[in-house]
A and B are shown apart, each in its own frame.
Chain A
């Protein structure tokens, strides 16, 4: 009897330990980034680091404000382009598409999530960037190019989560609206979408998180200039690309500054994920 109980406890402890190792990886990475980055922020000054306009590691100047602006602009652009497309797509899949069609489209959209980001970046560099340069002017490597690429990359996240949240609504809601003489579109607009709004909001927030965190594809199409952009046709640099570009040759204080950039990113992503969780739970 006792032996049996002991036999039960071994796998239990084993699984606990393994689960703990995943958690401790998170803790270790976080701690490491903070240990590396915080001293630099302290030295430069929190305000100077966040709102400093000049990033010149060779001169010891570490201001990441242009990159924060770059991140925000590229992400907002991706949301403006991507979210309406994604919402239309999820509404179509959840409400209008015949079964056979949605069975075809759904895996295709999932496939979008499986394309490596370097392929997106390469495609953007070959097609999007020249197109912008030829038709809209500027260098082509630009915020607009980054936004277009990211808009495509966030589609699977936003589409699948918002579709699921529409499909998860009780069928009685839809029947109730139909029974009152509402048309299909009126039902979607006035009943289903408001009822699914917390899930839709969460999908958008998670999409934003994906856009903020994306590095490779953005490096390839954004131009990476460290300056405040004056239009969406200007190149820019995001927080992630800053780390991605300079990590190869950074050392000492410069390397610390990159970790400090990582802290800012981590905090942004944590805030986004927490608000997505909040949005999901609120319903």
Chain B
């Protein structure tokens, strides 16, 4: 039996107060002939943190990459069904992919600062989209780094290479880099998996702060992390043909304390995965 998203969930968990930011309806993802995701129907509320959890290979990251069309980079990748940002279908031919990626930023599993200075890393995004004066860029760099809780650590070495920062700092730099293009949504693909526990907690604190302004969707392997930071959680699993499916979706507290599906319960309590 496959349980999709039930509209009633929102009302029960109080999510109905939120505006829906991202939405998929029967979304399917194919890599060539291989189906990676099947019939995912999910609504992601604005200004909150949604965690995508599930065992390895269940298509969590692929699902995340649907929202900023990162799968477009892979030849043979194809999305069917509806994917909406603010009610607009983002896979329509006329939809501006650059605008989409400005609105929907992404933080990757491994910190990926560009091999340039800290300043240039942050200024990179804004510079691609607009002409800014030096002082405007200075302001963007400062406010982005402050928002990402990195400013105090790097303000005296903005000209130094970003590659000299620690892993945790690099990941916050990548978050600041996303913030600099003024996104509305931030997708995070296991952002802490390469970091030590202290750096992980800092990123989690940061996520909670950012959730007041941004819609955050995070893919994570770490159940405690999902339980700690997210407001809502979606549990994915691989079907017998290896296509990822949505098993259960609801508020984080419901998913973790009172899962409706036996498979969710088994996974969360550590029976498999």
| A binding-site residues for B, Cβ under 8 Å | 99, 170, 172-183, 186, 190-191, 194-195
Q: Could you show 20 A-B contacts with beta carbons less than 8 Å apart? A: A173-B112, A173-B114, A175-B108, A176-B108, A176-B112, A177-B114, A178-B73, A179-B70, A179-B106, A179-B108, A179-B178, A180-B101, A180-B105, A180-B128, A180-B181, A181-B102, A183-B98, A191-B114, A194-B115, A195-B114
Chain B's closest residue to A192 (CB) is B114
Are A190 and B128 interface neighbours, CB within 8 A?
Answer: yes
Known: A181-B129, A183-B98. A190 touches B112 (CB 8 A): no
* A172, B174: Cα distance in complex, Å: 12
B residues 240-271 touching A (CB-CB < 8 Å): none
Are A180 and B124 interface neighbours, CB within 8 A?
Answer: yes
B86 within 8 A of A: no
| Chain B 136-177 interface mask (CB, 8 Å, partner A; 1/0) | 000000000000000000000000000000000000001001
Q: Is the interface of B mostly helix, strand, loop or mixed?
A: helix
Known: A175-B70, A186-B128. A180 touches B112 (CB 8 A): no
Are A180 and B177 interface neighbours, CB within 8 A?
Answer: yes
**In the assembled complex, how far is the CB of residue A194 from the closest CB belonging to chain B, in whole angstroms?**
7
Interface residues on B, range: 20 to 34
**In the assembled complex, how far is the CB of residue A189 from the closest CB belonging to chain B, in whole angstroms?**
10
Are A177 and B98 interface neighbours, CB within 8 A?
Answer: no
Chain B's closest residue to A172 (CB) is B112
Are A178 and B116 interface neighbours, CB within 8 A?
Answer: no
Are A175 and B181 interface neighbours, CB within 8 A?
Answer: no
B110 within 8 A of A: yes
Contact of A170 among B98, B112, B178 (CB under 8 A): B112
For residue A182, which residues in chain B have a CB less than 8 angstroms away from its CB? 124-125, 128
* A176, B203: Cα distance in complex, Å: 18
Are A181 and B125 interface neighbours, CB within 8 A?
Answer: yes
For residue A176, which residues in chain B have a CB less than 8 angstroms away from its CB? 108, 112-114, 174, 177
For residue A181, which residues in chain B have a CB less than 8 angstroms away from its CB? 98-102, 125, 128-129, 181
* A170, B163: Cα distance in complex, Å: 14
For residue B98, which residues in chain A have a CB less than 8 angstroms away from its CB? 181, 183
For residue A173, which residues in chain B have a CB less than 8 angstroms away from its CB? 112, 114-115
* A173, B103: Cα distance in complex, Å: 19
* A40, B198: Cα distance in complex, Å: 70
Chain A's closest residue to B108 (CB) is A172
| Most chain A Cβ neighbours within 10 Å, of B101, B113, B177 | B101
Are A175 and B112 interface neighbours, CB within 8 A?
Answer: yes
| Chain B 60-77 interface mask (CB, 8 Å, partner A; 1/0) | 000000001010010100
**In the assembled complex, how far is the CB of residue B9 from the closest CB belonging to chain A, in whole angstroms?**
30
* A186, B70: Cα distance in complex, Å: 16
Are B116 and A179 interface neighbours, CB within 8 A?
Answer: no
Are B101 and A178 interface neighbours, CB within 8 A?
Answer: yes
12 additional contacts, CB 8 Å, given A180-B125, A180-B177, A181-B101? A173-B112, A173-B114, A176-B108, A178-B73, A178-B101, A179-B101, A179-B105, A180-B101, A181-B128, A186-B128, A190-B124, A194-B115
Chain B's closest residue to A170 (CB) is B112
**In the assembled complex, how far is the CB of residue A133 from the closest CB belonging to chain B, in whole angstroms?**
49
**In the assembled complex, how far is the CB of residue B115 from the closest CB belonging to chain A, in whole angstroms?**
5
